[in-house]
């Protein structure tokens, strides 16, 4: 790799003081630091923090190179895979944190549970838990919508993939998830400079959260092993799978995939919905069009899978919301060999960060990028979107395995909720994105509930009746 350039970037932070200053800036406003970097240095720039090089990417061609064409030259970054400091200390060696042959084997195992034919069977469960949540809203005027979305999406993933009802444990599970969510996905914190044996308050909270979750998840695995029943869900698939040597998965391996699906499978979708509520409250003309479609097509009925085709605008709203606020605001890799991208060299061992948030708001690919315009995703317009400029689910072999699951879930949940309620920001609620592992509204999302005028409702549909819940 001769004659290749090193990308531009700010001066290396190679002493403790400059590193501390950098951490402070990132903690104060990471998105602003990234945006300023792209503004000052261009599409591909480099940060050097104490000799660790980090390449920041937002050009669709570069995204294609890294996620698709040269995908095999990259692994997941240490922030994910390091068992002491990375996400793996919580998720273990599941789909999100593994690489190579083990990842390929696990991906093949999990894929059938996410296949379109199977996920369509999950639609009633998705609506059921949404309706159950709405029943709990009766008489309330204000609520933390973030908390409500998290609980509902967690229950949905637990029931559909593990046939487990976590309603009893919902509080414990969502608390544990919230604690783990505080772990900064990029690990850019002052605490990350301390040795891992230092028991900081945050680390103690994390240990308790993992203990709580393990108790619940090993409980679910134990029960299922005891009954040795094949319920056809993901958990059965994992428990019954055998590798080439006829070996089944250990409880720890099943636990790691289960925790991964719990985390990856609920808070991303919850955040897609959170930002949708914020954007609808700020854009009444979009909201009015959404209500018109829901009232016309559903006329008060609880939506079902069969209705989704007739609700294209509802889907466009979600896609546009994920453009402005991609729940996975960025994702990383580490180069496992020297890689050339557009005349630049990314040396082996360097981190690469694809900044989804930045490419989604780039005026070269998006006209008036800050505006909330669902029409961008109408069938005619969608065909003209620049490839790899819209990547809420990533791209290439490691594209989100829950992609279709999530889109169907968000579509059904938005239709079910927006049909009955209009949400408005509570007085004093300032909305600020907090880029943790996912992009969350900082400090929760307090909104006022306004019941929509009752439209003619037919008799309760099977989806709202508990006995209709798929076994």
Binding site for ligand HEM (CB under 6 A): 95-96, 107, 157, 260-261, 264-265, 268-269, 272, 327-328, 331, 392-394, 398, 400-402, 405-406
Shortest Cβ distance from residue 11 to ligand HEM (Å)? 29
In terms of CB distance, is 255 or 398 closer to ligand HEM? 398
Shortest Cβ distance from residue 259 to ligand HEM (Å)? 11
CB atoms within 10 A of CB 448: 18
In terms of CB distance, is 301 or 323 closer to ligand HEM? 323
DSSP state of 12: P
* CA–CA dist 268, 439 (Å, integer): 8
In terms of CB distance, is 64 or 405 closer to ligand HEM? 405
Shortest Cβ distance from residue 269 to ligand HEM (Å)? 4
In terms of CB distance, is 273 or 449 closer to ligand HEM? 273
3-state percent breakdown (helix, strand, coil) of the chain, nearest 5: 55, 10, 35
| H runs (alpha helix) in 88-233 | 88-91, 100-110, 116-119, 123-137, 145-162, 170-181, 201-227
In terms of CB distance, is 110 or 133 closer to ligand HEM? 110
Contact 273, 410 (CB under 8 A): yes
In terms of CB distance, is 216 or 449 closer to ligand HEM? 216
Best CA proximity match to 363, nearest among 392, 391, 386, 383? 386
Shortest Cβ distance from residue 262 to ligand HEM (Å)? 9
In terms of CB distance, is 34 or 272 closer to ligand HEM? 272
Determine the 3-state secondary structure of 52 from DSSP. Answer: strand
Can you read off the two tokens belonging to residue 397?
A: 């072999």
Shortest Cβ distance from residue 200 to ligand HEM (Å)? 27
Query: SS3 for 336-375, per residue?
Result: CCCEEECCEEECCCCEEEECHHHHCCCCCCCCCCCCCCHH
User: Which residues, 6+ apart, have CB-to-CB distance to 411 below 8 Å?
Assistant: 308, 311, 314, 315, 318
User: Looking at the DSSP assignment, which residues form a beta bridge with residue 74?
Assistant: 335
Determine the 3-state secondary structure of 227 from DSSP. Answer: helix
In terms of CB distance, is 4 or 170 closer to ligand HEM? 170
Can you read off the two tokens belonging to residue 268?
A: 């991303």
Residue nearest to ligand HEM (CB): 402
Please, what sign has the CA dihedral across residues 426, 320, 332, 162? positive
In terms of CB distance, is 76 or 448 closer to ligand HEM? 76
* CA–CA dist 88, 467 (Å, integer): 38
Shortest Cβ distance from residue 176 to ligand HEM (Å)? 18
Shortest Cβ distance from residue 417 to ligand HEM (Å)? 16
Shortest Cβ distance from residue 398 to ligand HEM (Å)? 4
CB atoms within 10 A of CB 299: 12
In terms of CB distance, is 128 or 393 closer to ligand HEM? 393
Residue for token pair 């969502």? 174
In terms of CB distance, is 23 or 64 closer to ligand HEM? 64
Contact 231, 125 (CB under 8 A): no
Shortest Cβ distance from residue 271 to ligand HEM (Å)? 7
Shortest Cβ distance from residue 387 to ligand HEM (Å)? 16
Shortest Cβ distance from residue 170 to ligand HEM (Å)? 17
Contact 365, 60 (CB under 8 A): yes
The pair phi, psi for residue 140, each rounded to 5°, is -90, 150
């Amino acid at each position: 790799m001769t004659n290749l350039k090193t990308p531009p970037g700010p001066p290396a932070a190679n002493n403790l003081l400059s590193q501390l200053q950098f951490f402070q800036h990132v903690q104060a406003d990471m998105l602003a630091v990234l945006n300023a970097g792209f503004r000052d240095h261009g599409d591909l720039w480099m940060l050097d923090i104490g000799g660790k090089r980090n390449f920041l990417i937002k050009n669709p061609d570069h995204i294609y190179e890294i996620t698709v064409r040269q995908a095999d030259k990259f692994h997941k970054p240490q922030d994910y895979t390091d068992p002491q400091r990375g996400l793996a200390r919580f998720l273990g060696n599941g789909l999100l944190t593994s690489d190579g042959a083990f990842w390929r084997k696990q991906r093949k195992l999990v894929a059938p549970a996410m296949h379109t034919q199977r996920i369509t069977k999950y639609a009633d469960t998705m609506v059921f838990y949404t309706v159950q949540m709405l029943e709990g809203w009766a008489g309330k005027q204000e609520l933390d919508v973030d908390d409500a979305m998290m609980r509902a999406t967690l229950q949905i993933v637990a029931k559909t993939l593990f046939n487990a009802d976590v309603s009893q444990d919902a509080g414990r599970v969502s608390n544990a998830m919230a604690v783990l969510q505080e772990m900064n996905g990029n690990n850019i914190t002052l605490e990350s400079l301390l040795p891992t044996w230092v028991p900081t308050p945050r680390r103690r909270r994390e240990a308790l959260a993992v203990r709580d979750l393990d108790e619940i998840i090993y409980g679910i695995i134990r029960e299922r092993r005891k009954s040795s029943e094949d319920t056809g869900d993901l958990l059965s698939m994992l428990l019954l799978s055998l590798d080439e040597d006829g070996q089944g998965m250990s409880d720890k391996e099943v636990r790691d995939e289960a925790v991964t699906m719990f985390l990856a499978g609920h808070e991303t979708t919850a955040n897609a919905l959170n930002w949708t509520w914020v954007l609808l409250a700020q854009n009444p003309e979009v909201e009015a069009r959404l209500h018109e479609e829901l009232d016309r097509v559903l006329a008060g009925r609880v939506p079902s899978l069969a209705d989704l085709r007739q609700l294209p605008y509802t889907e466009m709203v979600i896609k546009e919301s994920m453009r402005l606020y991609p729940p996975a605001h960025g994702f990383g890799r580490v180069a496992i060999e020297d890689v050339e991208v557009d005349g630049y060299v990314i040396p082996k061992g360097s981190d690469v960060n694809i900044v989804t948030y930045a490419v989604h708001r780039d005026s070269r690919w998006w006209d008036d990028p800050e505006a909330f315009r669902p029409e961008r995703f109408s069938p005619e317009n969608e065909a003209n979107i620049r490839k790899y400029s819209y990547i809420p689910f990533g791209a290439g072999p490691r594209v989100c395995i829950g992609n279709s699951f999530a889109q169907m879930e968000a579509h059904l949940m938005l239709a079910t909720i927006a049909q009955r309620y209009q949400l408005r920001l509570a007085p004093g609620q300032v909305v600020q994105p907090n880029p943790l592992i996912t992009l969350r509204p900082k400090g929760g999302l307090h909104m006022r509930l306004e019941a929509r005028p009752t439209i003619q409702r037919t008799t309760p549909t099977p989806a709202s009746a508990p006995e209709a819940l798929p076994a």
